[in-house]
Copies of this chain bind each other. A is one copy, B any other.
């Protein structure tokens, strides 16, 4: 033979074109540099700071004690007899175990998750919105990404001979562009308005969809609120306008609301799409909507446990049956991820032994993130050629930078986009790993990057100082 049966020429073409910048070449290089440092290679820095990914614990955030206690209890039930574990943690653990077949987290669950956990999710949503939620509309998943892809793939179908398009924000979280590429669904980018703190203009939605209708059949709109990578929190009025637009254009709404706990700016408040849509009354309250949530963000930051859910409302019943059938081939989401979700949905209540510690740990994380959100935006705004919108929520800043023409030329020579060139220079000189704006999308001719606000306060300050110093040198080198 000598030759391979699977080659670049006959590889899935959708896989070839997909990109996932948050884990792209820059991150691969960062990993290499880490290994070089381990081997003792001399660099102008001692460590790589991974500000490229919303990976809370990796950046030193401590897990919430109560979550980990319940997980240890369900994993190793002999601990239920250990007096060191608080009673409310044991009660949560017993409830979860009672929902597991054979009383073991090692059993498969129903594909949409353990019933009692789905009920806790519905209760959480109901309390959050003040609107009834049906546990049978809740589908538990291995993180929000899994849930998003499972709903998205239902829409893969040509309509009137046209490919199914999905509206996504630009800049966007690259899970969407990567999944749409894999599913061979055209992406219809709508630009967020940087001059109104990444607001969402209906006129821009209209422009984007009108143009897209020439070549595809728009079927859905994705909104990320609070925004990733942009950090904005949408106002209720803005959400209403988007819902009206989606109604007029017959779009299925994907509300990516995984940062719903991460609201920092004074005056900003989280409204779920479900709440607004239901409160708008008919006909809007009958629209199809999927809302996504995750254990990976918020105050818990349990990215590695892979817990999340979709709440899907107003789906046509036969379609819903097909949706549930489609997820069944993957058996079930990880039970320990489900257990983590259960605790986030059903945290210690006032009067329970763990209540105070839980609240303290939760508030400390959120308060600290709030300070860091401001620190990051303020620092970038103090740097020459930078402008950074207020980080109202989520875990990221997405500053714009003006690059000198000579830098743009140097990038061209290096065969890189200017923002990618800048990010590589930053990485090689300081160890700071960010994601260039082109990985998320940006207005042509503008240059951005996404940085998380997750390094712990001291480290973040050090990182921003190094960043400012690098930027000065970069400017003087290329001016």
Contact = CB atoms under 8 A, between A and B. Distances in A.
A283 to B, nearest CB: 5
A306 B288 CA distance: 31
Nearest to A105: B304
A157 interface: yes
A330 B144 CA distance: 10
Nearest to A158: B10
A169 interface: no
B4 A314 contact: yes
Nearest to A154: B12
B316 A57 contact: no
A153 interface: yes
Contacts of A426: none
Contacts of A15: 153-154, 322-323, 325-326
A14 interface: yes
A236 to B, nearest CB: 22
A142 interface: yes
A400 B332 CA distance: 30
A155 B12 contact: yes
A288 to B, nearest CB: 6
B303 A331 contact: yes
A83 to B, nearest CB: 12
Interface in A216-268: 219, 247, 250-252
A325 B142 contact: no
B7 A319 contact: yes
A23 interface: yes
Given A13-B157, A106-B303, A303-B106, A334 B331 contact: no
A68 interface: yes
Interface in A145-188: 145-146, 149, 153-157, 159, 174-175, 178-179, 182
Identical chains bound together, number: 2
A58 interface: yes
A101 B306 contact: no
Contacts of A326: 15, 18, 182
A20 interface: yes
A193 interface: no
A13 B153 CA distance: 10
B331 A143 contact: yes
A59 interface: yes
Contacts of A6: 154-155, 219, 252, 288, 315-316, 319
Given A6-B315, A16-B322, A304 B219 contact: no
A393 B157 CA distance: 42
A329 interface: yes
Contacts of A305: 105-106, 334-336
Contacts of A286: 1-2
Given A20-B329, A108-B53, A71 B75 contact: yes
A316 B2 CA distance: 11
Interface in A36-95: 50, 53, 55-61, 63, 68-69, 71-72, 75-76, 79
Nearest to A13: B157
B319 A11 contact: yes
A306 B322 contact: no
A175 B111 CA distance: 14
Contacts of A283: 1-2
A302 interface: yes
A173 to B, nearest CB: 10
13 contacts: A1-B283, A6-B316, A8-B318, A20-B325, A20-B329, A23-B331, A57-B104, A100-B304, A105-B305, A106-B302, A179-B329, A304-B332, A304-B336
Given A10-B157, A12-B155, A50-B101, 7 more contacts: A11-B157, A11-B319, A15-B326, A58-B104, A71-B76, A145-B330, A174-B329
